[in-house]
Amino acid sequence: MTRQTPAFPYEASATAKHPFRDVRLHVVTGKGGTGKTTVAAALAIALAAGGRRVLLAEVEGRQGIAQLFDCPPLPYEERKVASAPGAGEVFALAVDPEEALLEYLEMFYNMRLAGRTLKKMGAIDFATTIAPGMRDVLLTGKVKEAVTREDRKRRTGQAYDAVVMDAPPTGRITRFLNVTTEVAGLARVGPIRTQADSVMAVLRSKKSAVHLVTLLEEMPVQETVDGVSELRSAELPVGAVLVNRTRDPLLSEADLAAAEAGGLDRAELAAGLKAAGIEADEPLLDTLTAEAADHARRVALEQEERGALEQLQRPTYELPQLPDSVDLGGLYRLAELLTEQGMAG
């Protein structure tokens, strides 16, 4: 097999210690059920550490951030939802396409009133229904605005040091981000097109990275692999692969192999149980060896999936399964782990 180095100059190095240090827009996607909102929130906290200010934006009207931080539903307004170690701040925003359009009309045309009239007439609903690409331009446009917003009062001159977007799932991410192509057929020229192009310029730059959250299971990994190749063909910068909810194998490698082959040392297991004061009858031994075999099969499958992810040659970070469902404390733990592995900091 000839080894080819893929030419994706706009992607961060896969081997650097802190490959995303200069990235200002972190787009987090993942198959449904992989925990992408949780990972996006943990990343926002990690990036905010050390007195930085980070915006965590959601774009699907799900109010997932509010649920996670246990606060009331977010309005169309940037609100502080968490602090990070060392006086860092995490703000959150639920981006709504209608509000984004009204804001846009006001900002560039001073036409907020006209916008309200259009909204009353159902025009905005109509426009975003027949042209979903326009909806995406409005959503990504608002996020891009936050990325580039200036604030002279801050030392960096920027309103936010980083923006984390909890983005649509892997199956739709390329379409969602590839706004220029999506609106090209609809608006060949004009301000919408100009706006789409300026969003695209930020998304395609080294200041952006699209991270993919996955589990070590067949379907999520397959979607991740497909997602990476779609993003690459759209020339969007693929960032990290984030493997969520990993579990350490509890058996030694030799025992795993034996368990999978159905040849676990039953006598030794029985002796061990006896030494711990547990009566090792045959049904119990059957159950325990079957459970060990299940575990071994799962570990083997996970290993296969890891191999498929390695082929992508992206920085890969793992987050363990937390003992209980993720609460605020769990988020900070995940943030620490991202920092320790070099994704943030």
Partner 1 sequence: MARDIKNALDIDTVLENAGILVCCGSGGVGKTTTAAALAVRAAERGRRTVVLTIDPARRLAQAMGLTELDNTPRSVPTVDGELDAMMLDMKRTFDEIVLAHSTPERAEALFANPFYQAMSSSFSGTQEYMAMEKLGQLRATGEWDLIVVDTPPTRSALDFLDAPNRLTSFLDGRFLKLLLAPAKAGGKAYVKVLGAGFSVFSRVITKVIGAQVLSDVSQFVAALETMFGGFRARAEETYRLLSMPGTAFVVVAAPEPDALREASYFVDRLAQDGMPLAGLVVNRMHRSAAESLSAARSTTAAEQLDEQGDHQLAAAVLRLHAERVQQAARERRLRERFTRAHPEVAVVEVEAQAGDVHDLAGLRRIGGELAGGLAEAS
Q: Which stretch binds partner 1 (CB under 8 A): 18-26, 127-135, 237-245, 312-320?
A: 127-135
Residues 65-104 that bind partner 1 (CB under 8 A): none
Query: CB of 295: closest distance to partner 1 in angstroms?
Result: 5
Query: CB of 232: closest distance to partner 1 in angstroms?
Result: 20
DSSP reduced 3-state for 300: helix
Residue 107, exposed/middle/buried by CB under 10 A (0-12, 13-18, 19+)?
exposed
Nearer to partner 1, 12 or 127 (CB): 127
Residues 281-310 that bind partner 1 (CB under 8 A): 283-284, 286-292, 294-295, 297-298, 301
Q: Outline where the chain has alpha helix (H).
A: 36-48, 64-69, 97-109, 112-121, 123-130, 132-148, 170-177, 179-184, 191-203, 218-233, 253-260, 266-275, 282-310, 328-340
Q: Which stretch binds partner 1 (CB under 8 A): 15-23, 146-154, 200-208, 250-258?
A: 250-258
Query: CB of 324: closest distance to partner 1 in angstroms?
Result: 8
The reply on whether position 277 binds partner 1 by CB under 8 A is yes
The reply on whether position 114 binds partner 1 by CB under 8 A is yes
Neighbour-count burial for 303-314, b at 16+ CB within 10 Å, e otherwise = eebeeebeebbb
Residues in Cβ contact with 55 at an 8 Å cutoff, skipping those fewer than 6 apart: 44, 78, 90, 91, 92, 93, 146, 160, 162, 163, 164
Dist CA 28 CA 208 (whole Å): 11
Dist CA 46 CA 69 (whole Å): 15
Residues 8-27 that bind partner 1 (CB under 8 A): none
Pattern 177-216, partner 1, x by CB under 8 A: -----x--xxxxxxxx------------------------
**Can you give the C-alpha Rg of the chain in angstroms?**
24
In the complex, the residues that contact partner 1 under the rule CB under 8 A are: 31-34, 60, 62, 105, 109, 111, 114-115, 117-118, 121-123, 125-126, 129-133, 169, 171, 175, 182, 185-192, 217-219, 222, 250-252, 255, 264-265, 268-269, 271-273, 275-278, 283-284, 286-292, 294-295, 297-298, 301, 325
